[in-house]
A and B are shown apart, each in its own frame.
Chain A
Amino acid sequence: AQKITQTQPGMFVQEKEAVTLDCTYDTSDPSYGLFWYKQPSSGEMIFLIYQGSYDQQNATEGRYSLNFQKARKSANLVISASQLGDSAMYFCAMRETVAGGTSYGKLTFGQGTILTVHP
């Protein structure tokens, strides 16, 4: 089974509107972290936002917020007031704790969603 599922291969949004990128995950680990990264066409991986499994509140970073629904195992990224520069591939990733409580921190990524912002 996929640990991270991003069901939207591509999304389109008008400039200045909000968009939600979906991410669901599968883990039996009670302690885990969820991350979103942006990959522009230049190829680098840019960290956007992080949510810990024990965090009581949804994470926010500027125009990015994470809609974390633990019971549904979803961690959707919301981008408000989209800009042309937001056009990129977006990856959701999860880090679990290795059995025994040690986390070496490897990330498991989803397939990604290509976001295109139209003027």
Chain B
Amino acid sequence: EPEVTQTPSHQVTQMGQEVILRCVPISNHLYFYWYRQILGQKVEFLVSFYNNEISEKSEIFDDQFSVERPDGSNFTLKIRSTKLEDSAMYFCASRPGLAGGLDTQYFGPGTRLTVL
């Protein structure tokens, strides 16, 4: 069964460093997402990506964040200068993009980012 994959599973970085989180969405899916979950809190939407551009972003997704689909399979989230408060689990998700927009979103296993 196809699944969303994410690498690395855990990343530790120093404050101020750049990190790139990688995701491979399910092939033939058209919509891609990043969410984050601070430990013990709810899952929060960061950004959605469709047709090679950002379609929607939250107020969390400021200038420190960027997303890219550099080739036909990878989808990356870059944090330019990490802060302590960026420590969280980051989930990538994708969905097929069926008509009506109410199709299921599948999540990857997450990358746990720890900023020291």
Contact = CB atoms under 8 A, between A and B. Distances in A.
Interface string B7-28: 0000000000000000000000
B105 interface: yes
Given A45-B43, A105-B48, A107-B45, A97 B109 contact: no
Contacts, number: 73
A112 B41 CA distance: 8
Given A109-B43, A110-B42, A104 B104 contact: no
Nearest to A108: B45
Interface of chain B, main secondary structure: strand
A105 B101 contact: yes
A34 to B, nearest CB: 10
Interface string A1-37: 0000000000000000000000000000001110101
A109 B36 CA distance: 11
Nearest to B35: A107
A88 to B, nearest CB: 14
Contacts of A43: 89, 109-110, 112
Contact of A47 (B89, B107, B108): B107
Contacts of A37: 107
Contact of A104 (B50, B89, B106, B109): B50
B68 interface: no
B102 A33 contact: yes
A105 B107 contact: no
A103 interface: yes
Nearest to A44: B109
A102 to B, nearest CB: 8
A95 B35 CA distance: 14
Interface of B: 31, 33, 35, 41-45, 48, 50, 55-56, 58, 89, 91, 93, 95, 100-110, 112
Interface of A: 31-33, 35, 37, 42-47, 50, 52, 91, 93, 95, 97-98, 102-112
Given A43-B110, A44-B108, A50-B102, 6 more contacts: A31-B100, A33-B102, A43-B109, A95-B101, A98-B56, A107-B33
Query: What 5 pairs between A and B have smallest CB-CB spacing?
Result: A103-B101, A45-B107, A33-B102, A104-B55, A109-B43
